[in-house]
Amino acid sequence: MPDRRPATLPPGPADERRYVSPMPKTGHVALAGVPNVGKSSLLNRLVGEHLAIVSPKPQATRLPVVGLRTEGDTQFVFHDLPGLLEPRYMMQSRMRQAALDQLARSHAIVYLHPAPAGVAPPFESLAGLEGPPRAPVLTVYTKADLVPAAARAALGPDALLVSAETGEGIPTLLARLAVLLPEGEFEFDPEDIGTQPLRFFVVEYLREAAFEVLEDELPYAFTAEVEEFREHSSPVYIRVTLLVERESQKGMIIGQGGRTIKAIGSHARTRLEALLGKPVYLDCWVKVLPNWRRNAASLSRLGFPEDAPAS
C-alpha cells in the first residue's frame, strides 16, 4: 500500500495530547451491520482515502477491507466487513463467515445502523449470534446528515451519530474507541493507510466500476482476477481478466463497440492512479467462469475463506 498519511489527518501537538497513556495503543475495530448502512463510506472517511468501494446497491463489500488511522499514540485498524445477512448461496455464506471471523478477532465492534431507520435492534439478534460477542459493541448511527433534530432526539440522549459525508461525530467516535483498545506497540507503519496488497484494490475498483456502469443483477455476477502487475513500469501495467458466470453476460460486459468495458476500465484506472500517484495502463479481458458464486473451488481461488459452511 502507498505509505502516505491520510489527507484528513494532519499530525500535531493537539492530536498527540488527545489520547494519553503510558504506552501506545493499537487495536482492531470491526465496522459491522446489515448491507448498505454506510460501512465503506465511513471507512473511507476515517482513513482519508477511497479504499473501500461505495455503491448505493447493497452487498458491494464481499471481503473485509482494512484501513489504518494512526493518531498520536493510538493506531486504529479498521475492518470494513461484508454486510451481515442470511446467506442464499455459497459466496454469501463465505462473506458472512469472513465477517464473523473478524468479529471474533476484533478488540472493538462498531455496530452501524442508519439513523433515519430509528433505534437499532440488539446487535447479537441482528448478527444471528447466540450471545453477545467477546468484544465491546459501540452502537453508532450513520447518515446523521439526513436526520432532523426531532428524529435525533428519538434515538436517545446518548446516541452517537456520525456522517461520512460531513465528518460529524468522527472525533467523538475515535475518542470512544481509543479507550477500548489495548496498550501495545503499533502493528503497522504510522504512515500507512492500509494493509492489503495493491492487487486486492485492482479487483475492488473494477467491481466498483461494474456497480457504477452495469445495471440490475449483472454486477453481482462480476468479479476480476489480476493476471500481471508490473508496478515499476511506467505507466504501471496491470492485466486483468473480468469474470462473469454466463456466456450471455460476456457480451454485456464488453458492450457495443467495446464501450462498456472501456467505461469500466476508465473508472477503475482513475481510482488506481489516485491511490498509486502514477499513471496506470489497465489491460482488461473478459472470460466466463461458470457459476463461480456457487462453486467452492472458484471461491477459494478468488480469495474467499475456505472454512465457511456450504450453501
**169 dihedral zone (left: phi>0; alpha: psi -120 to 50; beta):** left
Average pLDDT score over residue span 69-85: 96
User: Of the given ranges (13-27, 28-42, 213-227, 270-284), which has the lowest mean pLDDT?
Assistant: 13-27
- Angstrom CA distances, 288 to 30, 48, 213, 297, stand at 34, 36, 19, 15
Instruction: Express each pLDDT in 104-136 by its tens digit.
Output: 999 999 999 999 999 999 999 989 898 899 999
Q: Pinpoint the residues of the chain covered by CATH 3.40.50.300.
A: 13-178
The per-residue DSSP string of 248-260 comes to HHHHHHH-GGGHH
Contact 27, 77 (CB under 8 A): yes
Give the pLDDT confidence score for residue 131 in this predicted structure. 87
Give the pLDDT confidence score for residue 15 in this predicted structure. 44
Give the pLDDT confidence score for residue 216 in this predicted structure. 78
Q: What angle do CA 8, 13, 14 make, to 5 degrees?
A: 65
198, three cell numbers: 495493491
Instruction: Express each pLDDT in 257-279 by its tens digit.
Output: 999 999 999 999 999 999 999 99
Give the pLDDT confidence score for residue 6 in this predicted structure. 40
Q: Is the pLDDT of residue 18 over 70?
A: no
Report which of 32, 141, 29 is spatially closest to residue 81, judged by C-alpha positions. 32
The average confidence (pLDDT) of the chain is 91
Give the pLDDT confidence score for residue 217 in this predicted structure. 77
Q: Is the pLDDT of residue 67 over 80?
A: yes
Average pLDDT score over residue span 27-31: 98
* Band of pLDDT at residue 44, cut at 50, 70 and 90: very high
Q: Does the pTM of the predicted model rise above 0.85? A: yes
Q: How far apart are CA 208 and CA 192, in angstroms?
A: 23
Q: Is the pLDDT of residue 2 over 70?
A: no
* Band of pLDDT at residue 96, cut at 50, 70 and 90: very high
Give the pLDDT confidence score for residue 19 in this predicted structure. 43
Which CATH number does the domain 198-301 belong to among 3.30.300.20, 1.10.8.50, 3.40.50.2300, 3.20.20.70?
3.30.300.20
Give the pLDDT confidence score for residue 112 in this predicted structure. 98
Which CATH number does the domain 13-178 belong to among 3.40.50.720, 3.90.1300.10, 3.20.20.70, 3.40.50.300?
3.40.50.300
User: Of the given ranges (7-16, 151-160, 223-232), which has the lowest mean pLDDT?
Assistant: 7-16
- Of the chain, the percentage scoring pLDDT greater than 70 comes to 91
* Band of pLDDT at residue 22, cut at 50, 70 and 90: low
Judging by DSSP bridges, how do beta strands 160-161 and 137-142 pair with one another? parallel
Instruction: Express each pLDDT in 198-252 by its tens digit.
Output: 999 999 999 999 999 997 779 999 999 999 999 999 999 999 999 999 999 999 9
Q: Pinpoint the residues of the chain covered by CATH 3.30.300.20.
A: 198-301
Give the pLDDT confidence score for residue 309 in this predicted structure. 43
Q: How far apart are CA 301 and CA 277, in angstroms?
A: 29
Q: Is the pLDDT of residue 147 over 90?
A: yes
Give the pLDDT confidence score for residue 215 in this predicted structure. 78
Average pLDDT score over residue span 5-33: 63
